[in-house]
């Protein structure tokens, strides 16, 4: 079974991912719709957060996070630097988020192209794998909708930046405080990370002759390496 068009693929990616990836094999341009939806959801949720949150509260939180081991003098410099850009933070956040998506997917597409060489029947181009990577990021739309819901239903404007990581293993399970050596790492790993890995595994299984175990291994490997190195550095 395959998705018949880009719009149906955007629905199928959440309820029947294999239909989306099967449809993508011969589709042209579908990934532009997926990217547009991801980028729009990210931009709207980020804009709504910054326009509803107390900018001074955000500033204090950022200064605290950036100056944990800083001297008093260094803390003052950090504060002055952040105060100068506080009014334009929303645009930096939106631009930075979109830039990160583009660059990260450019790297992961190269990785998928490389590992697909293990299957002689897989003849997809780098551009096709770039589109493939975009579809594995579709859970970001649900993540952005969650941020919107949390911001719009909040009873205060003192909103923490950590709201963007509301589904992280730290906030859902561990509860590590700011300053803990593993705080940043556990904030970065979320149920959406696992969801993206699952989509990548399903997609690799559809696009190659890999076994399910091999597809899961290659889908998870980039995250395992990145978070593994991060954990080692944090614990040293």
pLDDT of residue 58: 82
pLDDT of residue 149: 97
The one-character DSSP state at 166 is T
Joined tokens for residue 146: 């969650």
pLDDT of residue 66: 67
pLDDT band at 38 (very low <50, low <70, confident <90, very high): very high
What end-to-end distance do the CA atoms of the chain give, in Å? 49
How far is Cα 171 from Cα 175, in angstroms, rounded to an integer? 5
pLDDT of residue 27: 84
CB atoms within 10 A of CB 128: 21
How far is Cα 153 from Cα 229, in angstroms, rounded to an integer? 37
pLDDT band at 56 (very low <50, low <70, confident <90, very high): confident
pLDDT at residue 67 greater than cutoff 70: no
What pLDDT, in 10s, does the model give residues 174-230?
Answer: 999 988 889 999 999 999 999 999 999 999 999 999 999 999 999 999 999 999 999
Compute and round to an integer the Cα radius of gyration of the chain: 20
Give Cα separations from 83 to 33, 60, 62, 63 (angstroms). 37, 10, 10, 10
Give Cα separations from 147 to 7, 10, 162 (angstroms). 24, 20, 10
pLDDT at residue 7 greater than cutoff 80: yes
**Residue from 22, 14, 43, 10 nearest 192 by CA:** 14
Task: Tell me if residue 119 falls in helix, strand or coil.
Answer: coil
All residues at 6 or more sequence positions from 77 whose CB lies less than 8 Å from its CB, including other chains = none
What pLDDT, in 10s, does the model give residues 115-170?
Answer: 999 998 888 999 999 999 999 999 999 999 999 999 999 999 899 989 999 999 99
pLDDT of residue 77: 74
pLDDT at residue 73 greater than cutoff 70: no
What pLDDT, in 10s, does the model give residues 99-119?
Answer: 999 999 999 999 999 999 999
Contact between 41 and 145 (Cβ < 8 Å): yes
Task: Give me the residue label for tokens 């956040």.
Answer: 93
Q: Lowest mean pLDDT: which of 33-42, 52-61, 138-147?
A: 52-61
- Torsion region of 4: left, alpha or beta (phi above 0 gives left; psi -120 to 50 gives alpha): alpha
**Residue from 203, 176, 201, 202 nearest 188 by CA:** 176
pLDDT of residue 68: 63
Joined tokens for residue 106: 């450019």
- Torsion region of 71: left, alpha or beta (phi above 0 gives left; psi -120 to 50 gives alpha): beta
How far is Cα 233 from Cα 83, in angstroms, rounded to an integer? 30
């Amino acid at each position: 079974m395959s998705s018949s068009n880009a719009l149906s693929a955007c629905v199928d990616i959440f309820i029947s991912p294999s239909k989306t990836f099967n449809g993508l094999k011969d589709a042209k341009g579908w990934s532009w719709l997926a990217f547009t939806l991801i980028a729009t959801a990210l931009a709207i949720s980020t804009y709504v957060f910054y326009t509803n949150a107390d900018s001074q509260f955000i500033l204090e939180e950022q200064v605290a996070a950036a100056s944990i081991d800083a001297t008093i003098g260094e803390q003052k410099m950090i504060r002055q630097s952040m105060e100068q850009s506080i009014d334009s933070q929303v645009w930096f956040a939106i631009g930075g988020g979109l830039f990160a998506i583009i660059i990260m997917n450019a790297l992961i597409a190269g990785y998928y192209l490389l590992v697909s060489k293990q299957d002689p029947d897989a003849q997809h181009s780098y551009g096709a794998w770039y589109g493939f990577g975009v579809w594995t990021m579709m859970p970001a739309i649900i993540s952005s909708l969650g941020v919107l819901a949390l911001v719009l239903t909040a009873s205060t404007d003192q909103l923490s930046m950590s709201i963007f990581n509301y589904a992280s293993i730290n906030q859902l399970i561990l509860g590590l405080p700011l300053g803990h050596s593993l705080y940043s790492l556990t904030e970065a790993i979320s149920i959406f990370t696992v969801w993206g890995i699952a989509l990548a595994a399903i997609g690799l299984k559809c696009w190659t002759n890999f076994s399910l175990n091999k597809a899961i291994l290659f889908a998870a490997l980039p995250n395992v390496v990145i978070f593994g190195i991060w954990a080692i550095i944090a614990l040293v």
